[in-house]
Structure 1
Amino acid sequence: MKSRTLQKDKVNIITLGCSKNLVDSEVLSGQLKANEIDVVHENSKLDHNIVVVNTCGFIDKAKEESVNTILDQVELKKKGKLDKVYVTGCLSERYRSDLEAEIPEVDAWFGTLELPLILKQFDADYKSELLGERMLGTPKHYAYLKISEGCNRTCAFCAIPLMRGAHVSRSMEDLVKEAESLVRRGVKEIMLIAQELTYYGLDLYKKRMLAELLNKLADVKGIEWIRLHYAYPNKFPLEVLDVMRERSNICNYLDMPLQHASNNMLKAMKRQSTRQEMEELIAAIREKNPGICLRTTLIAGFPGETREDVEELKDFLTRMRFDRVGIFTYSHEEGTSGYALIDDVPAEEKQARAQEIMELQQEISYEKNVEKVGKVFKVIIDKKEAGRYLGRTEFDSVEVDNEVVIHSTKKLPVGEFVNVKITKAYDYDLEGEVIL
């Protein structure tokens, strides 16, 4: 018998994929801790004896990373360095039966909504009174707030509804309580996440209630920034922009994945929008909120995409001049309606198209950053690295957007806000000095 089995269990949670997965891991951690079980995130000390891998099953690359991570943990178990390996999350939800057969060394597999069953493995009870209590896996000054689960859309490329189910909103009361709890723990920036923010409330309140939710969250004392991720363009509730403009602690920032701009592609993707409708919406957004930072995400290489479609997308980017753009290459996902189409764009060509689009956006990003030189922005300090500080403006979200590099002989506490005058611009980052 290994000596470690005589010691108290220590659980390490490894999180792969998106911020929604991170929140799930944080909730699991909070529940384990409340049941007096020692738990850590991404433990580098390797002094744990149980691992929970929270997987991503979104696209091929993410699935491969998840499988490799599981196999790494199984190998540690074989060497006697772990007692148990559990797997949860989207990959497990989607491919559980196949994975059970292929990797029998895993002790148990769980889906995305089976938190109470995971806790049973530890003889722990799900504590409903802990609603909103999480063990944060982020620096303490910012956190994600998941306002709903699942999605009712039927986009041809997306497997999320297969893994997360239909849209289910959380009540405004619960979300406000969770926000208040986060503030008590030092959180100053809250990033709202969901598969589709703008659908919020339709199931609970029979109408879109994101604007009302924002007002209630903006009232929570101590929240200095509220940021919106993953809005959907179809039937976008423009009243959200009024609240954004009126409330000083709501960032003038909107993440709205559009996926493409060619009408042929939008129709094939089942996006329920045309290019003209999207351009009209963007114009309306900018008219209501001049200076708003618009982020979007695109897909390159969807089945049937032609050179003309790529050129139309590039023209759209040139005309719309988004502040931030991310791009994925299309992944042929079984179970989606897109899977019935022929995946006719070679992988190398998908990558080449994505690179071509990002080179165009790189120029736009640089031009927009140059416009900021000489101006002063409120910046939150995220970390100190290699003798310099790294922060963000209200126009930048964590990990996916620009950073502001600050050289300062004066100590700048992480999580604090400072005024920074921009002195230099790069393609995706800025440099500046603190203004006292």
Structure 2
Amino acid sequence: MNNETRLKLVIDNPFEGIMAIDEKGIVFFVNAFFLEILNSSEQAVVGRPVWDVVPNCRLYETVGQGYSIWGETLKIHAKELLVARFPLKVGGQVVGAMVKTLFPDQTVAKEIVHKLAQPAKTSFQQSLCTCRDIIGETVPMLYVKKLARRASRTSSTLLITGESGTGKEIIAQAIHTRSVRREAPFITVNCGAIPENLLETELFGYVDGAFTGAKKGGKPGKFELANGGTILLDEIGDMPLYMQVKLLRVLQEREVWRVGATSPTKLDVRVMASTNTDLKQLAKDKKFREDLYYRLNVLEINLPPLRDRIADLPLLIEALICRINSKIGADAKAITPASLDILKSYNWPGNVRELENLLEQAINWSEDAIIDVRKIPMKPWELEAVSPALQADQPFRNVVEQTERDLIISALQKTNGNKAMAARMLNIQRSVLYKKLERMNIAY
């Protein structure tokens, strides 16, 4: 096959129509696809003015305009086509123009436009954490990594415990991305952030007409969205008791009932739950169902607080600086030795989340690639040093709570009482801040 034959195959493909005119508007080329649209022959088209061949075609205007037009609709007979027209130039001089169809027909065009309008569907693990994101080489963290590897080999229900800010969701995501469910959805539900009256529909969905204002056609809940994959019930200790009964049934039966449904929906979902509270104690206090606790606690991973693995600080700081650089477009390299000494001596009531927040503050305030944390306006280690709650004869929980209280009050003072800004400064959700204000009886 010679090059001329190959070129003809390319030009006369069955999916793209092409027609070209010279600088006088005379058609000098038309391919087979365009001739089929015109329902005409090459002899009847070539050599004729374009306005005679396609009266409503604006191709000749392109010769005078000298620029391209994309996405224009051209009607030939009863058929509408999406086309582009552009000038043909030699040495910068316009010598003609060409029109080409962008799609075989409008049906194909609409399908592609619809696909482009949809959110990009990427594989689930691309935006999730992996085992590489579990930072730490101390004995407690090596044990956590070992448990995470084992948990990824099974679909048993998993309970992840640990103080707030220790990275419970990172562990859950890493286990999911290492498991056989890695290509399926990973759905997170914050049980403490959703209002009680909406929690059931959020988790289980509803059918068409289930209640006034229900979306037409109904709506799947988070469990259905996670089908085939994993659902993480974050802050499970905040789930109301009446919902705990319904969740227990889901775990037992592996099916959900949408609100208003007359039949259940079968599920294949791995359930993970996380909490910073002592569920066993809550169960003893009748604030959490004991049977649900044992259903959730088939496997358990307890994350150590940052103060118990201070030796991991250099690795954590290095990883967090890279993450923050990517997030805010900074170019920080490291922290000063004096900064590291300060951070090693601090108690870290907010754990890794607090560390990331502090580093982001320091990077924003610094003009150097080597960061000095002493330059941030709010220095939690100074609050810790002067707080009367740090007296040795007080229980440790009081120490932590007093430090947290001081941090919250300081943030509110700096933001003139703006709770949304204060929550961002503290790197916590606004709903969490409101709960803390109520629990600590802080009126601001």
Using the size of structure 2 for normalisation, the TM-score is 0.31
The structure where helix makes up a greater share of residues is 2
Rg: which structure is higher? Answer: 2
More strand by share: 1
